């Protein structure tokens, strides 16, 4: 299916992404100029795995570089559960965070609120469904329009939630495993990112899940809210066992 010679891309939620050759056109928002400046900053500071921004088209849509490859979709493929994918994701997140630390905050408009401590520009949705895979390895990250200043550990908690994973058994988006395995993978993630304790990631995860549940509830998705609350309750209940396994 094509639209105006463009090819609609899967995902994107409300952004309606359409590919035209090597570029993607998506619905923009008032935060888009700030996000484009952020992407350009990342690329100029060593994190070139993000799309290059190209401004706006005649319809007012944002224009971004198309990153070739496959983006994992649910149900997540086995590749996503490999240790190599987990460690690649953590290392890429570290590069993005480090490159963002010097991005000027004054005058910027963000889709999500800024949070304290303001250490980096947090991606706020660094997850498998936003990672581009080529030849079995992570080659890029897309959909950074949720970014806003905040702490490193919040992004790490989200990534651990998706990849350890820290989901309850009833959540089909995760993978059922015991505290020992989740703790082991949490340690792998923390070590690959560097300079962070698994305990700090785990402590940040429960309030993050509660916040996501509140957002889902407000958006009229009570089923999603219930899943996140169940994940948060399960994690709070066995956090000590997970941490013991993480060492």
Distance CA 215, CA 140 (A): 27
φ, ψ at 110 (rounded to 5°): -125, 150
Distance CA 181, CA 242 (A): 8
Q: What is the pLDDT of residue 247?
A: 85
**Tally of CB atoms within 10 A around 244:** 11
Q: What is the pLDDT of residue 111?
A: 97
Q: Are 53 and 38 in contact (CB under 8 A)?
A: no
Distance CA 28, CA 4 (A): 18
Bond from prior residue into 117 cis (ω within 30 degrees of 0): yes
Residue pLDDT tens, the chain, 247 long? 344 578 998 865 568 899 999 999 999 999 999 999 999 999 999 999 999 999 999 999 999 999 999 999 999 999 999 999 999 999 999 999 999 999 999 999 999 999 999 999 999 999 999 999 999 999 999 999 999 999 999 999 999 999 999 999 989 999 989 999 999 999 999 999 999 999 999 999 999 999 999 999 999 999 999 999 999 999 999 999 999 999 8
The set of residues, in sequence order, having a beta carbon less than 8 Å from that of 111 and lying 6+ positions away, is: 29, 31, 35, 145, 146, 147, 148
**Tally of CB atoms within 10 A around 199:** 14
This prediction has a pTM of: 0.95
Q: Where are the beta strands (DSSP E) in the chain?
A: 7-8, 18-20, 23-26, 53-56, 62-65, 120-122, 131-134, 137-141, 148-150
Classified as helix, coil or strand, 112 is: coil
Q: Where are the beta strands (DSSP E) in 71-173?
A: 120-122, 131-134, 137-141, 148-150
Distances (CA, A) of 111 to 30, 128, 149: 8, 21, 11
Q: Residue 70 gets which letter from DSSP?
A: B
Distance CA 24, CA 47 (A): 19
């Amino acid at each position: 299916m094509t639209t105006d010679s463009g090819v609609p891309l899967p995902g994107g939620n409300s952004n309606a992404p359409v590919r035209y050759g090597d570029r993607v056109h998506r619905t923009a928002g008032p935060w888009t100029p700030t996000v484009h400046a952020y992407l350009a900053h990342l690329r100029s500071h060593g994190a070139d795995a993000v799309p290059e921004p190209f401004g706006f088209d005649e319809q007012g849509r944002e224009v971004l570089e198309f990153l070739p490859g496959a983006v994992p979709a649910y149900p997540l493929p086995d590749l996503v559960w490999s240790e190599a994918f987990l460690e690649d994701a953590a290392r890429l997140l570290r590069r993005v965070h480090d490159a963002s630390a010097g991005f000027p905050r004054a005058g910027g408009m963000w889709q999500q609120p800024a949070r304290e401590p303001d250490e980096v520009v947090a991606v706020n949705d660094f997850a498998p469904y936003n990672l581009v895979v080529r030849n079995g390895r992570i080659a890029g990250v897309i959909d950074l329009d949720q970014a806003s200043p905040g702490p490193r550990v919040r992004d790490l908690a989200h990534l651990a939630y998706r990849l350890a994973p820290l989901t309850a058994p009833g959540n089909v988006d995760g993978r059922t495993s015991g505290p020992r395995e989740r703790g082991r993978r949490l340690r792998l993630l923390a070590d690959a990112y560097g300079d962070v304790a698994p305990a700090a990631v785990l402590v940040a995860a429960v309030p993050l899940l509660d916040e996501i549940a509140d957002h889902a509830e407000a958006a009229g998705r009570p089923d999603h809210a219930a899943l996140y609350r169940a994940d948060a309750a399960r994690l709070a209940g066995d956090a000590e066992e997970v941490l013991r396994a993480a060492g």
